[in-house]
Structure 1
Amino acid sequence: MKTTTLKKIAYLATGAFILMQGSACTKDFERTNTPPTSVTKVDPALLIARILRDGTFQESGELPNNKFGSWVQHWAGGPVVPVSRYFEGPENLIWSQHFQLLRNIIQIKEELAGLENDPSGRSRLAIAEIYEVYLYQRLTDLFGDIPYSEVTKSNQAINRTPKFDKQEDIYPALIQKLDASLAKLTVGDQSYGTADFFYNGNVDKWKKFGNSLKLRLGMRLRYAKPDLAEQTVRAAMAASYGLLANNADNAAVPTYNNAQAENQNPILRQSTTGSADLRYLANTLVDRLKADNDPRLPLLAQSVTINGVATYQGIGVSLTDNQLSQLIRANYSTPNRATWFSLTFNPIPSYAMTYSDICFYKAEAALLGWGASSQDAYGFFSEGVKAAFALPPYNLTSIPTSYEQNVMSFTNLTDAQKMEKIATQKWIQLFGRNMEAFAEWRRTGYPVLTPGPNLGSTNGQIPRRGIYSSEEVELNRDNYKEAVARMTNGDSFLSKVWWDKR
């Protein structure tokens, strides 16, 4: 049962990467100095459960990740989230969270060592490696150059000062690793069963997930390395593995409103345990949905009453202290307390990747003629919107005709205008997935966002990346300084990662 697995992993994951070494001084040193309850081996299933859960939850609404949602103007953080107002600060927690998950994947590899070509280990290792690619992509997308090739591969040889690889070298390496891992997935092999929160051990679905991740890697390179981008996208579109084909293929972690707080959807936990400063929607998102008469608006946002009239109103982003002090919070919308912020509503899964994501990538690829005709672009786009409408908590089974005609139509539009529509619908659909929304907004440049009035430390510009952990400055200084020297604006919010060309 998944709730039982969630409880087990909370206790065991912290011991997943313990260093156990003997000594030549005492014959039985290791045996006599190891408490009988110590964790020296960990079930890979418990590790993968923790990795998938934490990795997915970190994408969503809680600190320290809510800042990215405010940068793309889904949320409107105030003084409690200073970086949402463009004040710089190192991303210590995000950095350590990712490398802890990556260390746990290394532990899975240690536990399954020698079984790389055996049905008992082959596909389990491949699944772990595919998610490893997912994590490394997210980490490099946030920071740019990161430790990759010299990161510790074994608990017997720890490297505390790995070099920072260039992002332009990391991306091809990730694509290569993903291809190798996909080739190992074999139906009939032992898998992770119910500990696999995404697919319950279904290897075919992991093939689709891995190949869809390849499509995402390729599209992220569109403006930085077009040749590799096209090659990668075409290969993913044509691969026999398939791509996510409907919402039943979505990679998601189930959540439980009546369980321990850590099992709640992160956006819900933001309401039940976080500051009120984290709960309000940005005016950019609310106004976009209002202007389009989008049927998702009343399901996403809580209405407010102003002068006796029920309406929806978002807070401006990155406001000054004076502006924030004058706000009457009751006049502004939070996510709907009957859906996103409900303790009794059917729990909303926390998503890692959805069919809608893939439809929008396919629509973009079709506009470029990469693996599909430009005439197919609208069909993929329409299917993506339909899939986004159907996701909980919206559960809308059809697109209103007026919305299709007035908001979605491609008639008489240039390819650039079509791309803006695709990217804007993706931006709406990615609400609650802050890191991915931030990456896609930087990549596409859509929707066009106006910075808030608070200048912060960026002179009023929306940040383009996260700042490295201060631990790297202290413990890996030489490699850190080498990476920073490659940036146009140093280790700041305003330096762009390699693929960010818009």
Structure 2
Amino acid sequence: MKKILTVITITLSLFSCSSDLEKLNENIKDPTDVPGEALFTSAQKSLVDQMVSTNVNDNVFRLFNQHWTETVYTDESNYNLVTRTIPEQHWEHIYKDVLKDLQQSAININKTTVSITENPLNKQNKLAIIEILNVYSYAILVETFGNIPYSEALDLNYKTPKYDDGLTIYKDLINRLNLALTNLDPSGDSFGSSDRIYNGNVTQWIKFANTLKLRMGIQISDIPSEAALALATVSSSAPYVFNSNTDNADLKYLTATPNTNPLYVDLVASGRSDFVPANTLVDYMNTLNDPRRSKFFDSNKDDPNTPEIEYIGGIYGASNSFPNLTHITSTIQAPEYPGTLLDYSETEFLLAEAAERSLYQTPLNAESHYNAAIVASILDWGGTITEASTYLAQPDVAYTTAIGTWRRKIGTQSWIALYNNGFEGWNSWRRLDFPQLTKPADAVSEIPVRYTYPIIEQTLNRFNYISASSVIGGDDVTTKLFWDKY
């Protein structure tokens, strides 16, 4: 009996050791084992981080817009994208850190069993929201590069994925967005606190998806062959878009790393003084006595060298003295300052465009949307209705008297309002061609209208890279993309 007990004890001991050893071989960081909700949060933050960042290795759109300029190191203000492999970082962040995590998030959520007490609409809503961010992310890549890997992207079976046609991708993204909208149901919940933008509010995601759809419809509206699609896309989304600043798609950052706003990391924690507001923007806002200057910039009134001038921008593209110039407002440098993907002001400018293009309402309605956009921007930055009214009353701002075509009026004011959304500011400028920006004296090219493809693609995916470059008209920063017709 004692021998039998000894054998049983040894066997159980060996089994236990074997089980423990197997646990040591488990990859606890395997994304297939991570809750889909956690992967969604990670992807969401990575997306906003990339779009908000001003790290010159990752995001130089504020410089392309001439909203900001550099002080000592001026390569990026002069459109040098090669030294720091900037396109590669943008490409990699969105494909790897955003789209791949979203893909795995959907897989993990799909395979999770719904309990008998849980509303099945919750899973449906989660998958639809993931799809909306997929569409947003792919749209950013297409709008940045043109033709990109899409149908074979993220599939490990394709080591060298082909590049799909940009317009074909864009049209498919609109279809995917339409389907995602049909799957969103406010009678169910979604991600709750795992959603750092809307805290799982499905109604807000419906507004976001429609606002994104509006923007995508406007983006293709200059393509003659896509007139019907642009009309259908804009007119079906416009009634359901953002209607106040409370709808803004703002990701909530925290006060402690690693969950702080990237601007805090880039501008404060780094201890560097690399950026100042550009004279292009500051001078124009000075001429209009724009009330947002005190919100966008820190005043120069305490500078004994220039006590008579309140705001002085750095010369765009040149070396600039940080101490002697206007500084970027401390407001957006706070660690918890939110990062924005889409906002109400941009929505109203898009509606003004839609009216002028007769895609939604008529050109007679453009003025009211233009006014609403400017008011929304001023209020969102902490201004007052009185300040907004005074600003709009100026002949150079008022829609009926401001100089130029509707493209110039909307383009210029949209450029100002998108001060803290570099990519969308660049998008608006490329689409409308206003304001008229001038390249700096030392620029290595004309003002970029696209990123060049990552250098790594030229070596590891060379055949498809050469093909894609040829199709779009050359892998150059001056190659206009399919929607950029003017």
- TM range, smaller chain: 0.7 to 0.9
- Tell me the secondary structure at the aligned position of residue 76 of structure 1: strand
2:452 alignment partner in structure 1: 467
Q: Deviations over 1:220-263 (max 9, x none)?
A: 1121233322221112125xxx111111111111123x311x33
C-alpha distance in 2, partners of 1:115/1:378? 50
C-alpha distance in 2, partners of 1:493/1:282? 22
How far the C-alpha of 1:384 sits from its partner, in A, is 1.0
Are 1:251 and 1:351, in contact at CA under 8 Å, matched by a contact in 2?
Answer: yes
Residue ranges of structure 1 left out of the alignment (5+ in a row): 1-27
2:45 alignment partner in structure 1: 53
Q: Which has the higher helix share?
A: 2
How far the C-alpha of 1:96 sits from its partner, in A, is 0.6
Are 1:267 and 1:432, in contact at CA under 8 Å, matched by a contact in 2?
Answer: no
How far the C-alpha of 1:417 sits from its partner, in A, is 2.3
1:438 alignment partner in structure 2: 426
1:299 alignment partner in structure 2: 295
C-alpha distance in 1, partners of 2:297/2:467? 45
> Which structure has the larger Rg?
2
Q: Structure 1 counterpart of 2:35, which letter?
A: D
User: Does 1:35 pair with 2:23?
Assistant: no
User: Does 1:279 pair with 2:275?
Assistant: yes
| Compared CA separation, residues 289 and 66, structure 1 to 2 (3 A) | farther
- Tell me the secondary structure at the aligned position of residue 214 of structure 2: helix
C-alpha distance in 2, partners of 1:442/1:45? 36
C-alpha distance in 1, partners of 2:259/2:422? 19
The normalised TM-score by structure 2 is 0.87
Residue ranges of structure 2 left out of the alignment (5+ in a row): 1-18, 115-119
Q: Deviations over 1:258-317 (max 9, x none)?
A: 311x33223333221347453211001111111110111022112222344352111122
Q: Percent identity?
A: 28
Count of aligned pairs = 451
Q: Structure 1 counterpart of 2:81, which letter?
A: E
| Compared CA separation, residues 140 and 274, structure 1 to 2 (3 A) | farther
Q: Structure 2 counterpart of 1:111, which letter?
A: N
1:92 alignment partner in structure 2: 88
Q: Structure 1 counterpart of 2:293, which letter?
A: L
| Compared CA separation, residues 249 and 455, structure 1 to 2 (3 A) | closer
1:417 alignment partner in structure 2: 405
- Tell me the secondary structure at the aligned position of residue 236 of structure 1: helix
C-alpha distance in 1, partners of 2:433/2:75? 24
1:23 alignment partner in structure 2: none
How far the C-alpha of 1:398 sits from its partner, in A, is 4.2
| Compared CA separation, residues 94 and 363, structure 1 to 2 (3 A) | same
Q: Deviations over 1:391-443 (max 9, x none)?
A: 24x343444443111143122568x6233222212111111211121111111
Q: Structure 1 counterpart of 2:278, which letter?
A: A
| Alignment map for 1:60-79 (pairs within 5 Å) | 60-63=52-55, 64-78=57-71
C-alpha distance in 2, partners of 1:38/1:463? 40
How far the C-alpha of 1:159 sits from its partner, in A, is 2.1
Which deviates more from structure 2 when the two are superposed, residues 165-174 or residues 186-195?
A: 186-195
| Alignment map for 1:187-202 (pairs within 5 Å) | 187-202=186-201
1:211 alignment partner in structure 2: 210
C-alpha distance in 2, partners of 1:87/1:79? 15
Aligned-CA RMSD value: 2.4
Are 2:402 and 2:409, in contact at CA under 8 Å, matched by a contact in 1?
Answer: no
| Alignment map for 1:41-440 (pairs within 5 Å) | 41-63=33-55, 64-78=57-71, 80=73, 82-89=75-82, 90=85, 91-100=87-96, 101-113=98-110, 118-153=120-155, 157-224=156-223, 225-238=226-239, 242-256=240-254, 258-260=255-257, 262-274=258-270, 276=272, 278-304=274-300, 305=303, 306-319=305-318, 324=319, 327-337=320-330, 339-342=331-334, 347-392=336-381, 394-406=382-394, 407-411=396-400, 417-440=405-428
- Tell me the secondary structure at the aligned position of residue 162 of structure 1: coil
Q: Deviations over 1:140-164 (max 9, x none)?
A: 11111111111135xxx54221111
Are 1:420 and 1:447, in contact at CA under 8 Å, matched by a contact in 2?
Answer: yes
Q: Deviations over 1:360-412 (max 9, x none)?
A: 111111122222122221111111111111224x3434444431111431225
- Tell me the secondary structure at the aligned position of residue 472 of structure 2: coil
- Tell me the secondary structure at the aligned position of residue 60 of structure 2: helix
Q: Structure 2 counterpart of 1:272, which letter?
A: V
| Compared CA separation, residues 206 and 384, structure 1 to 2 (3 A) | same
Which deviates more from structure 2 when the two are superposed, residues 221-230 or residues 269-278?
A: 269-278
Q: Structure 2 counterpart of 1:470, which letter?
A: I
Q: Structure 2 counterpart of 1:386, which letter?
A: V
C-alpha distance in 2, partners of 1:197/1:226? 36
1:3 alignment partner in structure 2: none
2:12 alignment partner in structure 1: none
